[in-house]
Amino acid sequence: MIAEEITVRVSPDVAKWYRSASEEERRKLDLLVSLRLRDATAGESLDKVIADMSRKARERGLTEDILAEMLKDE
């Protein structure tokens, strides 16, 4: 499979974990993220993907205040 590299912003703790992971763990995570992004966007508009992700985040307890705090830290 030919792959292209992209940049994705993540929280500092995720970045730290990724950098400290072994090469094999990073390859597995790269594949997992790629597959998840492909599944999330297959045949759907970006607006629908974002709306679905927002709904799921709210169902899991993510509030506007928590999101604002997370975005402020980055």
Q: Is residue 3 part of a domain?
A: no
Residue-range definition of the domain harbouring residue 57: 44-74
Per-residue model confidence (pLDDT) at position 35: 87
By CB atoms closer than 10 A (0-12, 13-18, 19+), residue 62 is middle
37 and 49 share a domain? no
Per-residue model confidence (pLDDT) at position 73: 58
> Based on the structure, what is the number of domains in the chain?
2
Which ranges of the chain have pLDDT less than 70? 1, 73-74
55 and 32 share a domain? no
Q: Is residue 2 part of a domain?
A: no
Q: Is residue 6 part of a domain?
A: no
Question: What global pTM score does this model have?
Answer: 0.58
Q: Is residue 48 part of a domain?
A: yes
19 and 38 share a domain? yes
Give pLDDT tens digits for 39-48. 777 877 888 8
